Amino acid sequence: MSHHLIKKFKSRNAIVGIVGLGYVGLPLAIRFAEVGIKVLGFDIDQAKLDAIHSGKSYIKHIPDAVVAEAHAQGFDATTDFSRAGEVDALILCVPTPLNQYREPDLSYVINTTESLVPYLRPGQLFALESTTYPGTTDEELRPRIEARGLKVGEDVFLVFSPEREDPGNPHFTTQTIPKVVGGTTPACLVVGIALYSQVIDKVVPVSSTRAAEMTKLLENIHRAINIGLVNEMKIVADAMDIDIHEVICAAATKPFGFVPYYPGPGLGGHCIPIDPYYLTWKAREYGLHTRFIELAGEINSDMPKWVVSKLADALNEREKSIKGSRILVLGIAYKKNVDDMRESPSVELMELLQAKGALIDYSDPWVPVFPNMREHHFDLISVPLTPESIASYDVVLLATNHDAFDYDMIKRCAKLIVDSRGVYLGSADNVVKA
């Protein structure tokens, strides 16, 4: 069974199913289409499917032409999960958020798997790419697949291969980012490598799905801890009247033993603010308390409050209060040059300021209308940046440092800028660093 499936992958005569066509699934589907492998996408959002069928992109950093070309090369999409039996590989790229208690919410993974399992057949690969705790593939997916009467490693091949997308990063693509793959059995691993090696330049095999799951967590926890460290350093440096960005730039000249990380108003995106808690939750099952990881999470989570306190102090010095002040938030995506709003600290900043009585607007060329979000809502559209509009606000809060902003013009026209991203180096009367 495995030899036949591997042959189909290597000859590129297979059909690949991508389940979840968001920031991970869409680029992956496009990459398979680029090499001539037919792709069938699955998603419950009809608007995404309509866009794909029209050759349009719904993710701003992915051009329409790329989606149109993929569609022309055989990339189709459906809401009909009963078509799962048509494909040779099913790759799950669905969200893995936290619940209100900061515990893993695997409902998307489990519900999607249960929607697909009735249509599985012998001779398929089932891959999970969603970030999760070690053991998920073995403990949650394998029993559900084998309850269908299919033997994993003989009839169906189960792997975990964590996504490593970095939206908006021009230096790395789906093709060039190495792909970690762990199999439930040795046969599963061989089949998984055969699939991903068709579209990824370097595939990195590991000994198990648990090792692959832990690899993704280590990558993101490493970043979360180092960002927490530099955020704490920023607070200390600020108290000592030292510019932390100047310090980081100087330290980065050391050619060994130092990697620069940069502070900000908090953590955003679907990985760094969330993934560490997947490991801390699972570690408790083993009687372990991940103190270091949780401390970094606390520091990062508190950064929006610290930025707001710096803004309040800056207004105070100008004999103003937050209440009644007109505040323009620059950038509401979670990082620069993308339209991704997931876990954006800008939203928490807006909510904290609004709760204190501020009159909030925002400007973000990547997010022209504030999107519908499950837990947050502002009935706002992006404000065009002109000298007159900037001058009309009491404070401009620089929350996301998009390249499209005219920072010289903003500095020239703003009454007060609170810079949480270190855009403005040196000192200026109307710039407060936060």
Residue 431's nearest CA partner among 420, 421, 418, 422 is: 418
319 Cα distance to chain centroid:
40
- Of 232, 256, 257, nearest to 244 by C-alpha is 232
Residue 20 tokens, joined: 């979840």
CATH code for 2-207? 3.40.50.720
Q: From residue 5, how far is each of 82, 125, 255 by CA, in Å?
A: 21, 8, 47
11: pLDDT strictly greater than 90: yes
Contact between 81 and 115 (Cβ < 8 Å): yes
Residue 110 is predicted with a pLDDT of: 97
Whether 1 shows a pLDDT value over 80: the answer reads: no
Cα 156 to Cα 125: distance, rounded to the nearest angstrom: 6
Q: What is the pLDDT of residue 269?
A: 78
Residues of the chain with CATH 3.40.50.720: 2-207, 241-433
Query: How many Å apart are CA 319 and CA 324, to the nearest integer?
Result: 13
- The per-residue pLDDT for range 72-110, each reduced to its tens digit, is 999 999 999 999 999 999 999 999 998 888 889 999 999
What's the pLDDT score for residue 270?
Answer: 74
Six-digit token string for 145: 């697949």
Q: Is 408 exposed, middle or buried (0-12, 13-18, 19+ CB in 10 A)?
A: exposed
Mean predicted lDDT score pLDDT of the chain: 95
pLDDT surpassing 90 at residue 306: yes
Lowest-confidence range among 186-195, 268-277, 320-329?
Answer: 268-277
For residue 76, what are the β-bridge partners?
40
How far is Cα 9 from Cα 3, in angstroms, rounded to an integer?
A: 10
pLDDT band per the 50, 70, 90 thresholds, residue 342: confident
- Active-site option among 93, 188, 249, 271: 271
pLDDT digits (tens, 9 = 90+) for 384-419: 999 999 999 999 999 999 999 999 999 999 999 999
pLDDT tens track for 261-288: 999 999 887 777 888 889 999 999 999 9
- Which amino acid is located at 378 in the chain? F
CA 310/CA 215 separation, integer angstroms: 37
pLDDT tops 90 at residue 377? no
Region 352-366: what's the mean pLDDT? 97
Complete edge-to-edge strand list for the sheet that includes strand 417-419: 359-363, 326-330, 395-398, 417-419, 431-433
What pLDDT score was predicted for residue 92?
Answer: 98
- Residue 367 has a pLDDT of 95
In sequence order, the β-bridge partners of residue 361 are 328
For the chain, how many residues are written?
Answer: 434
- Mean pLDDT for the stretch of residues 411-431: 95
Q: Is 375 a residue whose pLDDT tops 90?
A: no
Tokens at 68, concatenated: 């149109």
pLDDT tens digits, one per residue of 113-135: 999 999 999 999 999 999 999 99
Residues 6+ apart with CB under 8 A from 29: 16, 18, 21, 39, 41, 70, 75
With 80 as the cut, is the pLDDT of residue 376 above it? no
Q: What is the pLDDT of residues 160-180, one digit of tens each?
A: 999 998 887 888 999 999 999
pLDDT at position 186 is 97
Pick the closest to residue 209 from 139, 160, 144 (CA basis). Answer: 160
> Side chain identity at 268, as an amino acid letter?
G
Predicted confidence at residue 102, as pLDDT, reads: 83
Cβ(311)–Cβ(322) below 8 Å? yes
Work out the average pLDDT over 235-244.
Answer: 96
Is residue 93 among the annotated active site residues?
no
User: Which pair of tokens denotes residue 280?
Assistant: 């801390």
Ranges 17-21, 207-211, 296-300: which has the least confidence: 296-300
Distance, CA of 30 to CA of 60 (rounded, Å): 15
Fold of 241-433: Rossmann fold (3.40.50)
CA distance 419 to 216: 32
CA 395/CA 279 separation, integer angstroms: 39
